[in-house]
Chains A and B, each alone.
Chain A
């Protein structure tokens, strides 16, 4: 089936720490992969995406690489800031279903000064 699994949260880090949020997916074929971020009380914003194997998406210091061999799309950032505190969602596309996305359950990140 189609699913996305993210690491459990909440994740609490100190400012300038290294961040990894794991995401794995099940798929037939090669779906597009996405990371979204949700700040408190707001809608989701696209953070980055990758559309084919070995692509690296990057934005605002965040990176994720489409790993076909491990069906993973882990989110990383070398030095987090307090302003990165938010909930992060991994998602994958579904072919031929009206552009639907399958979302992971979300991982809450809290960065302390």
Chain B
């Protein structure tokens, strides 16, 4: 089944480190790169991580990505209030021959 599974919510306090997981299968994460998008309230998504662990220019190094087997993670260190957003993982799926998005994780900074 072509699905990317994320926890619906995550939270942390300012300065803390939080991680968001994305679980897939051999047809997607297991065989392709993972991408992460940040969607601030009322705005379009923004590319945060590409090729599983690369940051576009302008993205703070507080954000990092990793991948292992059929799962991936987004880590945010030194959490800030402005990090409150929805985070989506994405990957190419070989069975779908198309793009899969995870269901999204809403991050709350307490």
A binds B: no
Residues of B within 8 A of A (CB): none
* Contact surface of A with B, Cβ cutoff 8 Å: none
